[in-house]
Amino acid sequence: MKKKVFYRVVLYAVAAFILLSATAVGVVYAFQDKIIQLFVAEANRHLKTKVEVSKIELSLWEKFPQVAISLDHVRIFGSLPEETTPLASGKRLYFTFNLRDIISGHYRVRECSLQNGQVFVKVNEAGQVNYLVFAEDSTKQQASEAFKFDLEKITLQDVLVEYTDESLQQSYQANARSLNAALAISDEKVDIKADGDLFVHAIQLENDAYFKAKDILLQTALTVGVKDKKVTIRPSVVNVGRAAYEVQGDVDYKNATVLDLKLKGRNTNIQSLLSLLPGKYAKQFSKYRSQGNVYFNGHIAGEASDKQSPGITFHFGSKNASFFQPEYKEKLENISLEGTFTNGKKRNLTTSEIELKNLHGTLRGKPFSGNLLYRNFKNPYLKLDAKAEFEIAHVLGIFPLEEIKSGNGLAKLQVNIQGSLSDFQKRPASNILRSSGELQLQNATLSLKAHPQTFQDLNGTFLLRRNDVAISDFTGKLGSSDFKLNGFFKNALGYVFLKDQPLRIEADFDADFLNFDELLAAAGAQNATVSGAKTAPEEYKLALSPKLDFDLNARIKRLQFRRFHSKNVKGTVRLKDQVVSSPNISLHVSGGKFSVSGSLDARSKNYLKVRTSAWLEDIRVDTLFYVFENFGQNFLQQRHLKGELTANIKSDLYFDSKLNPLTDKMEADINVTLVKGELINFEPMQKLSAFVDRSELSNLRFSELTNHFWIQDQTIYIPEMEIRSNVSRASVIGISGTHTFDQKMDYKFRIPLAKGEKKRDKDERFGNVEVVQASSGPTLFLTLKGSENNYKIAYDKERVKTKLKDDLRQEKQELVDALKGKKPEEKAAEIEQDQYFNF
C-alpha cells in the first residue's frame, strides 16, 4: 500500500513538473517578442556606441532556472572613433532574469555572462578612453520601469582581457578561464567581489614584462565609487603557485590617478619573486632556488602619471633560508638578511636606494657577512663592507665564472668600499672611492679556459688601498714555471670594473725557472710527449694588451726557450703602449755572458718589431750554433766550429704574432771577435787540398779572428778578413763575400803559398798551373759560388787582373825609385795564368 502511494506521489510530481515546464515554455515563447523588444529598447537607451549581433533569442534551458536573452556573435564597438577593433566581442553573450519577472511584467537583468570572447580596453596617447559606451538616461519612458539592468553577477569564461595605456606605455593581458564577479550596484557605488582562474600573459610596463605566463587564482573585493571616482580594494589575495600576494588600499582616479596600496608576500621564495620580474633582470638568477622563510611587504602611495611617480617602499628579507643552484652541489645556508627599497622623497632615480643589512650565512660551514647600500640610481653611490672565508671550488660551484674552468684552495676576504660610482667611472685614477681590504690566498689552484697551463700553489696577500692593490709575496707555478711577485697593481679597481681602463704593475719579479715554451704556447696547443719528456710546442703566440703597463725588476735563476738555456737573468723590463723595453738585461749562456738592451714593439697587428743592442762575451760558438739551430742553414754547422765568441750586435728584427721571423725585414750590424777558434772538417776547405795538405785543412785552428758583418735584404755581408791559422803553407787566409738567407753563397779566398816556392802542376782536372816566385811570396785567388749542396770553386779572374794591375803599378814605381837611387822592395809572386777549376 505504501509503495503504491509513493509511486503516485512521484507520478503526480513528474506530471506537475512537466505541466509547469510546458506552461513556462508556453509563457516564455508567448512573451518572447515583447521581452526582446523591451531588452533592445533598454539597451539602446544606455548604449551610445554601435553594437552588432547576428541573432537574439530567448532561452529557458541554457541558464535554467533563469531565463536568458542570448546574443550570438556580438560585437560592441568602443567610444574612440578612429578605433576599428571592437571594445568587446564574443561567441555568445547572455543576460538573465527570473521566470517570475515575466508574470509580474517587470524585468530585472541581474546576471551577465560572456563566453569565448575578447575585451580590449584602451587609453590613447591623448588620454582618451574607448570604454565610454554608456549614455546618460534623460528620458522617463515607461519601458525603463518595465525593463531594467540591475546586474548582480558577471561571469567570464575563456575571455581574453587586454588593457593598453599608450600614454603610459603600459599593457595588461590575461585570459579569464573562469571568472565570477558578484556586483552590488547603487547610484553612488558598485561593490564587486570576484574570484576565478586566470592566465596572465604579461604585464608590460614600457619595455619590461612582469608576471609573464603565470597561472593565477584571484580572490578580491573592491568598491568602485561612481561619484567620487575612487576604487577601494579590500584585502585581496593573488595566488601564484604556492606563493600568495596580499593587496589592499585605494585608487583615486577623479583627476590624476592617486595610489595608496599595501602589498605583502606570503609563502614566497626567490624563484617565485624572480618569476614576476622581467627576463633581463631575472635571467642571471633564474636558475637559483631558495628554501626557508623569504618575505617582503611594501607600500605604494602617491600620484601615478606620465609626469609623476608614486612613492614606493618595500621591506624584504630572509631568516635561516638557503639559496642554491640545482645544477651544482653547493648551497648557501643559514641566510639571514634585512633589506629595503625606496624611491625616496622625489620619487625618481636620484632619490632611489636599496639597502641590505646584517647579511649572514655559511658556505660549507665557512661564514660570510656583509652590508650594502646602493643610493641614487642615476648617479650611484655605493657603500659596501663584506667579510668571508671560503674554499674557491665551493664558490665556483654556486657562482660559476665563464673564464675559469676550475679552482680550489682557501681564500680569506675582507673589503670596504664607499664612494660615488659615476664619479669613479669618470675619473678612476683620482682616488674618489674610499676603499680598503685584504685578500689572502692559501694553496690555491686556478685553471683558465684561455690558457692550457694551470696556475698552482698560489699563495700571497693582496691589500686594497683606494684604487690600487699592493701585492705581498704572491707566489705560484704555471706549468713548470714558478714566480714570486712583490709590488703594486695601479688602477686595479678601474681595470676590473670599468671598460678600457689601463692596469699598471710596478713590482719585483723573481723566478727559479721560466719555461717560455709553455708560457708563449698558443691557447689550446698541446705539448707532445716523447719517451716521457715534453717537446716544445709547434706554435707560439705573443699578444700584448694596450691596457696593460708594467715596470718589473726581474731576477730569474734559469730560463728556457727551445734550445736556449740561460742562468742568472737580471734586468728591468718595462711595458707601455704595447712596447716592451729594457735598458739592460744580463744573463749567463753558453759558457759566457750576454747582455742586451732594446725594445719589442707589438703595436702593429701584422708583425712584432724587435730593436736590440747586444753584447756577447766569451760565448762558446759551437753551443751558440746549437742553441739557435744553426741559424736555419746546413752549410756551416755546430760541428764545424769551436772557439770563444765576443760580439757587439745592433739589430732590427721582425716577427709575426706566432714568433716566426720575417727575414725580408731583418737588419743587423755585427762586430765579432773569435779567439781560440777551430774550423773542423769544413767541406769547402777540404777542396783546397790541391794547394794545402788535407790533414791541416781538416782542423784549421786560429788564435783570433775579428771582423765587422752586416745583414740587409736577407743577405749577410762579410768584408775581407784574415785568418791566421796553423796551416804551414797558408798561414794567413783572406776571406770575404756574401751569404743569403736562401743559402746562395759568393765567397772570395786569398791564399798565400809558401814564400820562395815555384811550382808547376799538371792534372787532367786543373790543366797547367804555374806559380811564379815573387818577392812577397806566391798568392792564390779563388771563388766559391753556389748553394749549400751545389757549389763550385774557381780561380778569381777579376781579382787576378786587379792584382796584376797593382803589381805593374808597383813595379813602375820601383823603377822610378831606382832611377832616383832608391833601393827597390821585393815583389810579390804572381800567378802566370788564370785557370778555372771544377772541384
At 451-489, the pLDDT tens digits run 778 899 999 999 998 889 999 999 999 988 999 999 999
Longest dimension (CA), the chain: 186
User: Which amino acid appears at position 669 of this protein?
Assistant: D
Torsion of CA 629, 634, 639, 645, to 10 degrees: -60
Indicate whether 600 belongs to any domain: no
Indicate whether 831 belongs to any domain: yes
Number of structural domains (the chain) is 1
**CA separation for the pair 264, 237 (Å, rounded):** 9
**pLDDT tens digits, 267-302:** 777 666 666 655 555 555 566 677 777 888 889 898
Contact 124, 166 (CB under 8 A): yes
**pLDDT tens digits, 325-381:** 677 677 888 989 898 988 888 888 888 888 989 999 999 889 999 999 999 888 889
**pLDDT tens digits, 185-215:** 676 777 888 888 988 888 776 666 777 778 8
Query: What letters, b where the CB count within 10 A reaches 16 and e where it falls short, cover 264-282?
Result: bbeebbbbbbbbbbbeeeb
Is residue 141 very low, low, confident or very high in pLDDT (cuts 50, 70, 90)? very low
Contact 357, 385 (CB under 8 A): no
Contact 344, 353 (CB under 8 A): yes
**CA separation for the pair 150, 704 (Å, rounded):** 124
Arithmetic mean of pLDDT, 777-785: 76
Indicate whether 16 belongs to any domain: no
Is residue 756 very low, low, confident or very high in pLDDT (cuts 50, 70, 90)? very low
Facing residues of 195 across strands? 180, 219
Contact 727, 714 (CB under 8 A): no
* Grid coordinates given for 781: 785567388
**pLDDT attached to residue 831:** 40
**pLDDT over 70 at 420, yes or no:** yes
Is residue 428 very low, low, confident or very high in pLDDT (cuts 50, 70, 90)? confident
Arithmetic mean of pLDDT, 669-693: 72
The residues near 108 (Cβ < 8 Å, ≥ 6 apart) are: 97, 98, 101, 148, 150
> Please, what is the average pLDDT of the chain?
76
Report residue 577 CA to chain centroid gap: 22
Residue closest to 491 by CA, chosen among 474, 508, 506: 506
Query: In 689-734, where does DSSP find H-type helix?
Result: 694-698
**pLDDT attached to residue 459:** 96
Contact 662, 654 (CB under 8 A): yes
**pLDDT attached to residue 762:** 39
DSSP state of 265: E
Indicate whether 778 belongs to any domain: yes
The boundaries of the domain holding residue 839 are 756-839
**pLDDT attached to residue 589:** 80
The residues near 804 (Cβ < 8 Å, ≥ 6 apart) are: 830
3-class state of residue 101 by DSSP: helix
Contact 383, 373 (CB under 8 A): yes
**pLDDT over 50 at 569, yes or no:** yes
DSSP state of 417: E
**CA separation for the pair 363, 392 (Å, rounded):** 11
Residue closest to 519 by CA, chosen among 487, 547, 561: 561
| Phi, psi (deg, nearest 5) at residue 205 | -115, 105
**CA separation for the pair 831, 837 (Å, rounded):** 15
| Phi, psi (deg, nearest 5) at residue 239 | -95, 120
